[in-house]
Structure 1
Amino acid sequence: MKTNKKPWPLSTLSNARGIRQRIDTNPDFQRPAVWSKAQKQLLIDSILREYDIPKMYWRKIDEKPDRYDVVDGQQRLRAIWSFVDGEFDIPKDAEMVDGLPVAGCGYATLPDDLRVRFDQYSLDVVVLEDTDEEEVREMFLRLQNGTSLKAQEKRNAMPGEMRQFVKSLTEQQIFQKVGFTNARFTFDHVAAQLVCLEKAGEPINVKDADLNRMYRDNRQFDVQGKIAKGVLRTLNLLAEVFTDKTPELERYNVVSLYCVFSELQRLYAVNEVKQELRTWFLDFESRRRNQENLDEDQIAPEWLAYKEKISHSTDSQDSIKFRMDFLLRDLLARFPNLSLKDNQRDFTHNQRLAVFRRDQQICQVRLNCSGIRVEWDDWHCDHKTAWNNGGRTTVQNGQVSCPACNWAKGGS
């Protein structure tokens, strides 16, 4: 890597028809513009008072004409351009500069002496040449080490195929349907969580530390491999179900539904109910809101627990698993005839739980009992129509049986 430090007057940097159009302030490792108006105003005030401004770092990416990516300094550069373009003024309570009034002034209304001073102010720019992608990303992370970058903004600057794959996922259709914006790489953050869950094959912690580890350990991630295809398959299903903008698709709901839909595709004939899944979810959210509008002592215990899981530590394994199981159980209760793939004989955990709750823990077979209440650790999920006789393994064809009655029936 070669470095070349040069002073650049603001009049040159701000020339919209000159170099400005050849400077990319938003290469893909950069965070979006996050400075407030007050921060921008403070920078302009500092320039007018001729205070030192930290140097900028640009990467030279082309010649004839020269083109640059901003590695560090994009917030300052955008603020300068914004001021020159008349998008904000100096605060109305600003003190005079060298006896000249600046309060409420924009660039065009500055006293001439101060506008000349602004135009002639030079920023130190370090131009990086002969650099590769990894060197630039490493420099960006080091330069931002003392700033308030969010964790996903740092991950977005990491080199490797995992970062590239996660970034590509944000272009999937489902992210155009969600109820949250992509402020500060929120789409990337959620997409990274989904990849992490797919890799594990079950609910796990998807906190920042876990995502950082995934990025570091998977720089050579196979974008054509089983995990990548699994993520895309589930995101495609989500996009097929949610065909338009759905405000209910908040961040935690996208994560929860990803787990549910992934399980559906793995175990069930999802095409049987695909056209009805959006209606089911919107109804679920309506019932949830109705429960939350009740006084806390009137909310059903499971809904109260669900409320807690979507309010705190939503990225934890415990929270994700609870939400997934709750949603999947509700879905199976709505679609009791949903078939398992490959005509499996054994009921899944969530099917058993749906049957157990529906039958209120009461034995339905009643061959050796008169309908006793069973405990979770001591009951059988029985096929009403025996599996050997063509009975399907569905919630509707399942029933609670005490062990004695199921054995009397023949264990079918």
Structure 2
Amino acid sequence: MKTNKKPWPIGTVSHVNGIRKRIDTNPDFQRPAVWSTSQKQLLVDTILREYDVPKMYWRKLGTTPDRYDVVDGQQRLRAIWGFVDGDFKLPKDAEVVDGLVTAGCTYETLPDDLRVRFDTYALDVVILEDTDEDEVREMFLRLQNGTSLKAQEKRNAMPGAMRQFVRSLTQHDFFNRVGFSNTRFTHDQVAAQMVCLELAAGPVNVKNADLNRIYELHQDFDVNGPVAKAVRRTLGLLEEVFFDKTPELERYNAIALYCVFAELQRMYAIASIKPELRGWFLEFEARRRSQEELDEEHADTEWVTYKERISHSTDAQESIRFRMDFMLRHLLSKFPDLSLKDNQRGFTHIQKLAVFRRDNQVCQVKLKCEGIRVEWDNWHCDHRIAWSKGGATTVANGQVACPACNLAKGGD
């Protein structure tokens, strides 16, 4: 890498028909504009008083004509351009500068002497030449050290195939349907969490430290490998089901739904219920809202717990597991005839939960009892129509059986 420090007058870098259009302030490792108006006003005041402004770092991309990516200093550069464009004024209580009034001034209404001073102020720009992508990202992270970059903004500047894969996922149409914006790379955060879940083949912690780890460990991630294909497949199902903007798709829902839909694709024959999945989810959300309107004394205890799990520690494995299981159980209750792909004999954990709750923990066989209440760790999930006689392993064909009654019934 070669560096070359140059003084660039503000008038030169701000002219809309000049170099300005060849400066990219938003390469994909950069964070979006986050400065407040007061921060921008303070920078302009700093320049008018001829105080020092920190160096900017630009990467030179090519010649004839030269083009640049801003590695560091994009917030300052955007603020300067915004002032020149008339996007904001100086504050009404701004103090005079060398005896000249600046309060409430735009760039156009500044006293001439101050406007000339502003235009001729030389920004310290360090030009980076002969650099590769990894060097630029490493420099960006070093320059941002100690600032208020969010965790995903830092990850977005990391080198490697995992970052590139996650970035590509945010272009998937599913992210155009969700109810949360991409402010400060939130879509990247959720996409990274989905990859983390797929790598673990189920619920796992998807906190910032966990995401950092997968970026570091999977710099050579195979974007055409089985994990990548599985992520795209589940996002494809989510896109198919949620065919238009769905405000109920909040961030916490996107993560739990990813787990639900991944499980559906792995285990169940879902072709017949695909058209109804969106309606199921909207009904689920409507019921959640109605439960939240009740006080805790009258609300269903499981819905109270669900509310807690979507309000606190939403990126923890325990929370994701609970939300996934809760959603799946409600889905299987709505579609009790949903069968497993290979119609295996054993019921899944979620199928058992749905049967257990539907039958109110009461034995339905009643060969050796009168319908006793069973505990979770001491009951059998029995096929109503025996599996050996063609009975499907579905919630509709399952029932609670106490051990004695199931033994008396014999094998199925």
Match of 1:57, SS state, is strand
Structure 2 partner of 1:67: 67
User: Structure 2: how far apart are the matches of 1:123 and 1:271?
Assistant: 61
Structure 2 partner of 1:159: 159
Contact kept? 1:382, 1:398, Cα under 8 Å: yes
Using the size of structure 1 for normalisation, the TM-score is 0.99
- The Cα shift of 1:203 comes to 0.4
- The Cα shift of 1:139 comes to 0.2
Contact kept? 1:329, 1:351, Cα under 8 Å: yes
In the TM superposition, what whole-angstrom CA distance separates every residue of 1:47-78 from its partner, at most 9, and x where no partner exists?
A: 00000000100000010111100000000000
Match of 2:322, SS state, is helix
Match of 2:302, SS state, is helix
User: Structure 1: how far apart are the matches of 2:141 and 2:91?
Assistant: 33
Structure 1 range deviating more: 74-83 or 364-373: 364-373
User: Structure 2: how far apart are the matches of 1:363 and 1:147?
Assistant: 61
Match of 1:343, SS state, is coil
Match of 2:108, SS state, is helix
- The Cα shift of 1:230 comes to 0.4
Contact kept? 1:364, 1:371, Cα under 8 Å: yes
Structure 1 partner of 2:260: 260
In the TM superposition, what whole-angstrom CA distance separates every residue of 1:8-32 from its partner, at most 9, and x where no partner exists?
A: 0111011111100010100110001
Structure 2 partner of 1:381: 381
Match of 1:126, SS state, is strand
Structure 2 partner of 1:208: 208
User: Structure 2: how far apart are the matches of 1:230 and 1:133?
Assistant: 28
Structure 2 partner of 1:362: 362
Structure 2 partner of 1:37: 37
User: Structure 1: how far apart are the matches of 2:213 and 2:8?
Assistant: 40
- The Cα shift of 1:202 comes to 1.3
Structure 2 partner of 1:178: 178
- For the pair 1:226 / 2:226, whether they are aligned, the reply is yes
Provide the identity percentage. 73
Using the size of structure 2 for normalisation, the TM-score is 0.99
User: Structure 1: how far apart are the matches of 2:66 and 2:174?
Assistant: 38
Task: List 4+ stretches of structure 1 deviating above 2 A.
Answer: none
In the TM superposition, what whole-angstrom CA distance separates every residue of 1:155-196 from its partner, at most 9, and x where no partner exists?
A: 000000000000000011110000000000000000000000
Q: Which amino acid is 2:360 matched to?
A: Q
In the TM superposition, what whole-angstrom CA distance separates every residue of 1:247-271 from its partner, at most 9, and x where no partner exists?
A: 0000000000000000001110111
Match of 2:34, SS state, is coil
Contact kept? 1:93, 1:103, Cα under 8 Å: yes
- For the pair 1:325 / 2:316, whether they are aligned, the reply is no
Within-5 A mapping of 1:116-155: 116-155=116-155
User: Structure 1: how far apart are the matches of 2:374 and 2:332?
Assistant: 21
RMSD value, Cα:
0.6
- The Cα shift of 1:370 comes to 1.2
Structure 2 partner of 1:395: 395
Structure 2 partner of 1:337: 337
Match of 2:70, SS state, is strand
- The Cα shift of 1:411 comes to 2.7
Segments of 5+ residues of structure 2 without an aligned counterpart are none
In the TM superposition, what whole-angstrom CA distance separates every residue of 1:260-316 from its partner, at most 9, and x where no partner exists?
A: 000001110111211101100100000000000001211111000000000000000
In the TM superposition, what whole-angstrom CA distance separates every residue of 1:118-170 from its partner, at most 9, and x where no partner exists?
A: 01100010000000111100000000002100000000000000000000000
Structure 2 partner of 1:407: 407
User: Structure 2: how far apart are the matches of 1:411 and 1:330?
Assistant: 29
Contact kept? 1:151, 1:208, Cα under 8 Å: yes
- The Cα shift of 1:372 comes to 1.1
Structure 1 partner of 2:87: 87
Within-5 A mapping of 1:246-257: 246-257=246-257
Match of 2:297, SS state, is helix
Q: Which amino acid is 1:384 matched to?
A: R
Contact kept? 1:382, 1:411, Cα under 8 Å: no
Match of 2:58, SS state, is strand
Match of 2:365, SS state, is coil
User: Structure 1: how far apart are the matches of 2:211 and 2:131?
Assistant: 27
- The Cα shift of 1:408 comes to 1.2
User: Structure 2: how far apart are the matches of 1:368 and 1:256?
Assistant: 41
Structure 2 partner of 1:244: 244
- The Cα shift of 1:345 comes to 0.8
Match of 1:296, SS state, is coil
User: Structure 2: how far apart are the matches of 1:25 and 1:230?
Assistant: 34
Q: Which amino acid is 2:88 matched to?
A: F
